[in-house]
Amino acid sequence: MMDKSTKYVLRKIGIDVLCLLILGLGPLYCLKYGTPYPRGFFCDDESIKHPFIESTVGNELLYSIGIAMPICGMLLGEYFHAKLLNKQSSLVLFGHKIAPWIPMAYNKIGLFAFGALISVFLTDTAKYSIGRLRPHFIDVCRPNISCDNNNSFEFQHKYHVNFVCTNNIGDYEHRWKDARLSFPSGHSSFSMYVSIYFALYLQLRVTWKGSKLLKYLLQTICLWMAWYTAMSRVSDYKHHWSDVLAGMLLGSIVSLINAFCIADIFKERRINKIGTTDLDKIKTVDYDIEPGMQNESSPLRHVSPTYGGIALDDHHDE
């Protein structure tokens, strides 16, 4: 029979996984069954007549680095932070005491993933709702409307919606669909979300006194990677500049809201600065100690790292 601590932790993990799965269903549905808004075009629109070229930063590279880099960084960051705290964990799972850095890393990575899925979901919603044509749309689609053979003013300025794509080279059906998903840039929104959130995490965890510039160098590298990814989408004719700008703004806003309102990653630093604080004045988060578990003899106490309502050290300050 499972102990109370194990049941509580498993329930928390189950709810978290369910929330992530629900958010992930939106982008997955769009990918498999979504149909972009059927937007037409003008023959004299030069912005959609660029050639199709392969992406400088492909999907595989974007998501492998965008997922692996922050997860590995957070695992290392929480491990060394827990070592510096030198606290013993009272978290028990199936009768085994869990190292304190594991639930700490779980919290950080889970909240990061939650925000990333929100960013992707909002981006895909806009893409399929608007259906803006990519700069290489004509090259990929090759519509059965010959704009070059009819130079009349009426024909060139007519908004063409009744057409069929004729380019059957390669995975043409996927390319036809993708050519209608220009706004906003998914690469730009995802890369900006990851880079800003991870840069803020580095601000929290990199406290080494050996070099003042190391932390800022790492943060600059994160932001440069996002900036380069966004600029490559324009030079590769995958997006219009306004698509990239909108994607960068969307990713940045979601990242900042997640970091400061949902995850509140700097809360522990604020608490450590004041030492003790009135608990009623601190915004509680999902993994704080539950009401009734603090010392009733005093409304003030030191806040220790917690997971699922269970303190990660064995002794509470009186």
Q: Any catalytic annotation for residue 316?
A: no
Residue (of 197, 298, 193, 303) closest to 252 by Cα position: 193
Q: Exactly one of 81, 136, 187, 240 is catalytic; which is it?
A: 187
Q: Exactly one of 239, 302, 315, 316 is catalytic; which is it?
A: 239
Q: What is the bridge-based pairing of β-strands 300-301 and 96-97?
A: unpaired
Q: How far apart are CA 156 and CA 136, in angstroms?
A: 19
Catalytic residue annotation: 187, 239
